[in-house]
């Protein structure tokens, strides 16, 4: 096909069928790469299966662990993945709705309960990392300020005068009108933005030492998606104070945070980095930047690199007045959580080449830092092939594990035919978008009357997948 035809074909949306999956016997699974032990830094991990961070919107309004949060992680732990990463957790001590927080010691008792729950339910098999998020700028909460929403409504109501509005406003003002006001990390005229290089390293390091005090096996620095540190890494970052512009300067603060966190925690504690292999927005960082960043993170002592893609604000859909803009609505959002309605490449494993390129660059530079890939992982064979080809060291599955938290265990036991397969149509992501407790459409209406089932606030959905026992009950 000519490049032009390929380009035209790429624009057509195709509904992809779920590919057939062959499942291994228990013996084959026992020999499989995915189920072999591995090391992350100095930590021994039982297998190379991985559940990346997913926010379930289940913390209390002030960010404390609730029984619903414990259920969410307990259910994943029952499948005994090698690594389970706890949702994006706020490192500043400021309100952020029902999302977990770790910005003060008062959060520690709840987080300790979370660690204990995962240990107990996984039989001590699953390693638990916590994923520290920071939205100091370019963040989510700034979009919801009420007075501004009222003003936006009034101005947007004057739709007939749009040309007049466009002529009167600067492009930043127009963006604030259409999308809500948002700070950028390059708004250095704002004192708190200018000060980020000074304030952030100790903030991350303190949150990380709290994570260790709570008993987590490691911390994951969230340098991905729409968060502040991803914005520092972005090619769009034009700060002129030595922390923007060329990539050596864009990576400076992320490296300073990594170094400070490492110094605070010592060499024996796992500190990983999640970041973007490609921002997928016009003018943003691409794989060449990401491969280069990966080498810098590895040489600065990151214990692993978990590669994601997209999820930026820049191409997000315009939100309704009073709603927050959601960074997973545009093209970059699609690439972060791809669905079966896709281009000709389909959603399955489409981010793997990014991880493979970064891994190669890191290995060529002489580092053994493990690389984690995620995005459209749906089967045992797919994961095995990724590992066999040396494209990643750990293979992570978010939505497939939400669809069936027992799937790793089922495969290990030779019961792969019983895996409840994710349909990759993003009902769960829609709930996330509207800040509703996240569940999966494949199980959230099943056996609502069963004893002990915890339901959503409206009583319509169960919050956890129904329990599973192996058919012969003995394993």
Between 47 and 414, whose beta carbon lies closer to ligand FMN?
Answer: 47
Cβ-in-10-Å burial (0-12, 13-18, 19+) of 113 comes to middle
Interaction residues for ligand FMN, span 377-406 (CB under 6 A): 377, 397-400
CA 244 – CA 286 distance, rounded (Å): 16
Q: Report the partner that residue 302 touches, choosing among ligand SF4, ligand FMN, none (CB closer than 5 to 8 A by kind).
A: none
CA 165 – CA 117 distance, rounded (Å): 55
Nearest approach in angstroms of CB 446 to ligand SF4 is: 12
Between 88 and 205, whose beta carbon lies closer to ligand FMN?
Answer: 88
Kindly state the tokens that stand for 41.
């830094």
CA 460 – CA 299 distance, rounded (Å): 50
Residues 6+ positions from 283 with CB-CB distance below 8 Å: 235, 236
Binding to ligand FMN by residue 55, rule CB under 6 A? yes
Between 382 and 400, whose beta carbon lies closer to ligand FMN?
Answer: 400
CA 119 – CA 170 distance, rounded (Å): 54
Nearest approach in angstroms of CB 379 to ligand FMN is: 12
Between 295 and 377, whose beta carbon lies closer to ligand FMN?
Answer: 377
Helix (H) or strand (E) holding 273: strand 270-276
Between 272 and 376, whose beta carbon lies closer to ligand FMN?
Answer: 376
CA 284 – CA 125 distance, rounded (Å): 39
In DSSP notation, 364-397 reads: HTT----EEE-SS---HHHHHHHHHTTS-SEEE-
Binding to ligand SF4 by residue 428, rule CB under 6 A? yes
Binding to ligand SF4 by residue 433, rule CB under 6 A? no
Residue count of the chain = 475
In DSSP notation, 49-106 reads: EEE-----S-S-TTS---HHHHHHHHHHHHT--SEEEEEEEE-SSS--SSS-B-SSGG
Binding to ligand SF4 by residue 424, rule CB under 6 A? yes
Interaction residues for ligand SF4, span 177-236 (CB under 6 A): none
Contacts 24+ apart (CB under 8 A), 460-468: 461/437, 463/58, 463/68, 463/71, 463/72, 463/437, 463/439, 464/71, 464/72, 464/74, 464/75, 465/75, 465/404, 465/405, 465/406, 465/420, 465/440, 467/78, 468/78, 468/406, 468/410, 468/418
Binding to ligand FMN by residue 375, rule CB under 6 A? yes
Binding to ligand SF4 by residue 378, rule CB under 6 A? no
Which residue's structure tokens are 């990014």?
354
Q: Which stretch binds ligand FMN (CB under 6 A): 46-54, 176-184, 248-256, 386-394?
A: 46-54
Q: Report the partner that residue 281 touches, choosing among ligand SF4, ligand FMN, none (CB closer than 5 to 8 A by kind).
A: none
Kindly state the tokens that stand for 200.
């952030």
Of the candidates 60, 442, 456, 466, which one interacts with ligand SF4 according to CB under 6 A?
A: 442
CA 297 – CA 305 distance, rounded (Å): 8
Binding to ligand SF4 by residue 427, rule CB under 6 A? yes
Q: Which stretch binds ligand FMN (CB under 6 A): 28-36, 113-121, 195-203, 425-433?
A: 425-433
Angle, vertex CA 286, rays to CA 281 and CA 290, nearest 5: 130
Binding to ligand SF4 by residue 356, rule CB under 6 A? no
Binding to ligand SF4 by residue 340, rule CB under 6 A? no
Q: Report the partner that residue 425 touches, choosing among ligand FMN, ligand SF4, none (CB closer than 5 to 8 A by kind).
A: ligand SF4
Q: Report the partner that residue 257 touches, choosing among ligand FMN, ligand SF4, none (CB closer than 5 to 8 A by kind).
A: none
Between 237 and 400, whose beta carbon lies closer to ligand FMN?
Answer: 400
- The per-type count for the chain, helices as H runs and strands as E runs, is 19, 12
In the DSSP assignment, the letter for residue 87 is E
Pairing mode of beta strands 371-373, 304-308 = parallel
- 78 and 121 in contact (C-beta within 8 Å)? yes
Q: Which stretch binds ligand SF4 (CB under 6 A): 72-80, 186-194, 388-396, 439-447?
A: 439-447
3-state secondary structure of 429: helix
Nearest approach in angstroms of CB 77 to ligand FMN is: 17
Nearest approach in angstroms of CB 159 to ligand SF4 is: 35
Site string for ligand FMN, 290-329 (x = CB under 6 A): ------------------x---------------------
Between 188 and 425, whose beta carbon lies closer to ligand FMN?
Answer: 425
Of the candidates 24, 272, 376, 405, which one interacts with ligand FMN according to CB under 6 A?
A: 376
Q: Report the partner that residue 249 touches, choosing among ligand FMN, ligand SF4, none (CB closer than 5 to 8 A by kind).
A: none
Binding to ligand FMN by residue 429, rule CB under 6 A? yes
**Which positions lie near ligand SF4, rule CB under 6 A?**
399, 402-403, 422-428, 440-442
List interacting residues with ligand FMN (CB under 6 A): 52-55, 87-88, 131, 224-225, 274, 308, 336-337, 374-377, 397-400, 428-429, 432, 438
């Amino acid at each position: 096909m000519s490049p032009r035809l390929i380009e035209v074909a790429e624009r057509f949306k195709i509904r992809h069928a779920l590919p057939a999956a062959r499942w291994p016997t228990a013996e084959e699974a026992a020999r499989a790469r995915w189920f072999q032990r591995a090391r992350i830094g100095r930590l021994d991990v039982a297998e190379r299966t991985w559940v990346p961070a997913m926010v379930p919107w289940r913390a209390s309004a002030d960010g404390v662990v609730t029984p619903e949060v414990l259920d969410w992680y307990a259910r994943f732990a029952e499948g005994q993945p090698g690594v389970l990463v706890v949702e994006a957790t706020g490192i500043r001590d400021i309100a952020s709705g029902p999302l977990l927080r770790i910005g003060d010691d008062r959060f520690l008792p709840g987080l300790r309960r979370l660690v204990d729950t995962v240990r107990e339910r996984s039989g001590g098999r699953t390693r638990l990392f916590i994923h520290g998020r920071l939205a100091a700028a370019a963040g989510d909460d700034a979009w919801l300020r009420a007075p501004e929403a009222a003003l936006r409504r009034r101005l947007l109501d004057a739709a007939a005068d749009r040309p007049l509005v466009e002529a009167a406003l600067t492009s930043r003002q127009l963006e604030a009108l259409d999308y809500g006001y948002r700070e950028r990390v390059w708004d250095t005229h704002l004192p708190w933005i200018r000060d980020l290089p000074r304030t952030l390293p100790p903030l991350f390091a303190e949150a990380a030492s709290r994570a260790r005090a709570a008993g987590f096996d490691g911390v994951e620095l969230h340098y991905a998606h729409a968060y502040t540190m991803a914005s520092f890494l972005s090619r769009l970052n034009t700060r002129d104070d030595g922390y923007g512009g060329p990539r050596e300067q864009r990576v400076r603060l992320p490296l300073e945070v990594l170094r400070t966190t490492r110094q605070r925690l010592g060499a024996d504690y796992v500190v990983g980095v999640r970041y973007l292999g490609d921002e997928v927005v016009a003018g943003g960082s691409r794989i060449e930047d990401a491969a280069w960043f990966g080498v810098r993170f590895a040489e600065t002592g990151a214990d692993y690199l978990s590669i994601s893609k997209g999820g930026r604000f820049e191409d997000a859909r315009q939100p309704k007045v009073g709603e927050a803009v959601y960074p997973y609505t545009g093209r970059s959002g699609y690439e972060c959580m791809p669905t079966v309605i896709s281009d000709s490449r389909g959603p399955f494993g489409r981010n793997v080449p990014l991880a493979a390129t970064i891994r190669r660059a890191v290995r060529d530079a002489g580092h053994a830092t493990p690389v984690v890939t995620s995005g459209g992982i749906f089967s045992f064979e797919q994961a095995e092939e990724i590992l066999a080809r040396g494209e990643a060291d750990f293979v992570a599955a978010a939505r497939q594990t939400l669809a069936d938290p027992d799937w790793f265990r089922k495969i290990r036991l030779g019961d792969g035919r019983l895996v409840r397969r994710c349909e990759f149509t993003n009902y769960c992501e829609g709930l996330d978008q509207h800040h509703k407790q996240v569940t999966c459409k494949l199980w959230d209406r099943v056996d609502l009357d069963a004893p002990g089932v915890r339901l959503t606030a409206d009583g319509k959905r169960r919050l956890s997948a129904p329990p599973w026992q192996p058919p012969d009950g003995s394993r």
